[in-house]
Amino acid sequence: MSKAYDSVNLNLFEKALNRINMPSKLINILTNLLTDCQNRVITNFGLTNPYIVKNGIDQGETITPLFWHIYYDLLISNIASQHEDYQLSTT
């Protein structure tokens, strides 16, 4: 039940956390939050059977936007530095 938008490589996520000088104990806590997890989906008919989350950042969690920002920061920074006319904005 993985989708492209929630599939991340946890090794790269750990490297991204190291890149921003996150303390190693906090890195361990955050990567453990995303490792060996199970999810269930709420439907009109009740909860689905649990399924194993392989590699993912759970959508809808409070901390998810921060995780995504950390994960993609290097990519966005490189694009911005190589293309001076590149602009990233949101409304």
Angstrom distances, CA of residue 7 to CA of 42, 58, 68, 80:
21, 9, 11, 24
Q: What is the pLDDT of residues 7-52, one digit of tens each?
A: 678 888 899 999 999 999 999 998 888 888 888 889 999 999 998 8
The pLDDT value given to residue 56: 66
pTM: 0.65
Residue ranges of the alpha helices (H) in the chain? 10-19, 24-33, 64-82
The Cα–Cα gap between 74 and 29 comes to 22
